[in-house]
Amino acid sequence: MNTPLDALWMPFTANREFKLAPRLLSRAEGMHYQTPQGRLVLDGTAGLWCVNAGHARPRITEAIARQAAEMDYAPPFQMGHPLAFELARRLVELTPEGLNRVFFTNSGSESVETALKIALAYHRLRGEAQRTRLIGRERGYHGVNFAGTAVGGIGGNRKLFGSSVGGVDHLRHTHDLGRNAFSRGQPEHGAEFADDLERLVALHDASTIAAVIVEPMAGSTGALMAPKGYLERLRALCDRHGILLIFDEVITGFGRLGAPFAAQHHGVKPDLMTLAKGLTNGCVPMGAVVVRQSIHDAFMQGPASAIELPHGYTYSGHPLACAAALATLDVYAEEGLLTRAARMHPVLEAALHSLRGLPHVIDIRNTGLVGAVEFEPREGAAGRRAFEVFQACFEAGVLVRATGDNVALSPPLIVSESQIGQIVDTLRQAILRLH
């Protein structure tokens, strides 16, 4: 590529290091990317946890092209178009029973902001306007907008910005290497971490707390599975104290853990859920918030001529995104992809845990079609081992994701057994070269 690279300020990227040795992708199909030089790279990360059905599925790309020609855009405020209604209807056939009202956004970050605003407004409408506190969890990632950054639990994502959203507190994270290292599926220990909510209730009083937001599986900080019993306990405590429970299912939604949503995988129903990524197979930006009907109905009071929720985006329910999402849901249904990760779980588990005992490997985790290998941090260079493994794998033709001292895997849900073997073999070779 001859284009100079300096004009682009890249997101969540070490810009200077990257531009010295760029890693570029220029084509994609099925399970593979291609570099501009024509080198094939097996996608071990579904892009960025989003291309769940694999790349360039004709059904999806053709639906987008058709829609672009038929109607490129329609305003979503005080106007509608049929695909948005159809998509909402199709979505609530998949979501847990009772979570059946859908608000469209354009990203996971916007879904988080939207869900938190709905939570605050809901309490206000019910005469509990003092419930303004938002509770997140350490090592949580909820996107990059102001409230998402505030409830997020990644110190590095917050330190440059201060906290301009007040009234936020955090549960402790659940990553307990001492007791749970090399867990297969959900870790045995740690349900009691949910009791942190009782401590925060004692500290702040329940009457000040609007909502708790957690990822059912913390994806961005290294695929941290919820310990057995943890989500159930959190649900019970939220119920006891009248606090809304929000599951951020931006990563776990659309089949990643082996059920359409983590809520179903774990048998725990949140009050609101945030979605994005796999909703359109990553083809067109789109997010959604799905809420319990009674939350939606609390807004449907007063004169019918009033706008009930003064919130929305120019591109909420964009026609191209709706077309992509509807075609994506068709592909998921026809190929049984939303439950395929449950069948592939043992395959990934056996392959990944064969890396146990390699130098520097201090933990291996897996569930559904998610896996992670954690490395002992190199003295004075935290995160470098995972980054070097990511680089070596890319050079050897496999895309994995480095985050902190973890390498995470989340291949498209169409991945074959032999491709899982290729990913793990490539990882093994890369790990063996670490110092």
Ligand X SMILES: Cc1ncc(COP(=O)(O)O)c(C=O)c1O
Binding site for ligand X (CB under 6 A): 107-109, 112, 141-143, 215, 219-220, 248, 250-251, 276
Q: What pairing do the DSSP bridges indicate for beta strands 401-403 and 406-409?
A: antiparallel
In terms of C-beta density within 10 A (0-12 exposed, 13-18 middle, 19 or more buried), how is residue 387 classed?
A: middle
Q: Distance between CA atoms of 168 and 249, rounded to whole angstroms? A: 20
Element (H, E) at 168: strand 168-171
- CB 57, min distance to ligand X, A: 20
Nearer Cβ to ligand X (196/249): 249
- CB 359, min distance to ligand X, A: 30
Q: Distance between CA atoms of 33 and 23, rounded to whole angstroms? A: 12
Q: Distance between CA atoms of 119 and 309, rounded to whole angstroms? A: 12
Nearer Cβ to ligand X (248/349): 248
In terms of C-beta density within 10 A (0-12 exposed, 13-18 middle, 19 or more buried), how is residue 222 classed?
A: buried
Q: Distance between CA atoms of 208 and 200, rounded to whole angstroms? A: 10
Nearer Cβ to ligand X (206/287): 287
CB environment 149-167: b (16+ within 10 A), e (fewer): bbbbbbeebeeeeeeeeeb
**217, 278, 218, 224: which is closest to 414 by C-alpha?**
278
The DSSP secondary-structure symbol of 208 reads: G
- CB 152, min distance to ligand X, A: 9
Nearer Cβ to ligand X (112/430): 112
Nearer Cβ to ligand X (224/344): 224
Alpha helix positions (H), 242-383: 262-266, 293-299, 319-335, 337-353
Q: By beta-carbon distance, which residue lies closest to ligand X? A: 108
Q: Distance between CA atoms of 310 and 319, rounded to whole angstroms? A: 21
Nearer Cβ to ligand X (43/434): 43
Query: Longest Cα pair distance anywhere in the chain, in angstroms?
Result: 68
Nearer Cβ to ligand X (76/278): 278
> Which amino acid is residue 167, in one-letter code?
G
- CB 40, min distance to ligand X, A: 25
- CB 142, min distance to ligand X, A: 5
- CB 121, min distance to ligand X, A: 20
Nearer Cβ to ligand X (141/375): 141
- CB 219, min distance to ligand X, A: 5
- CB 315, min distance to ligand X, A: 13
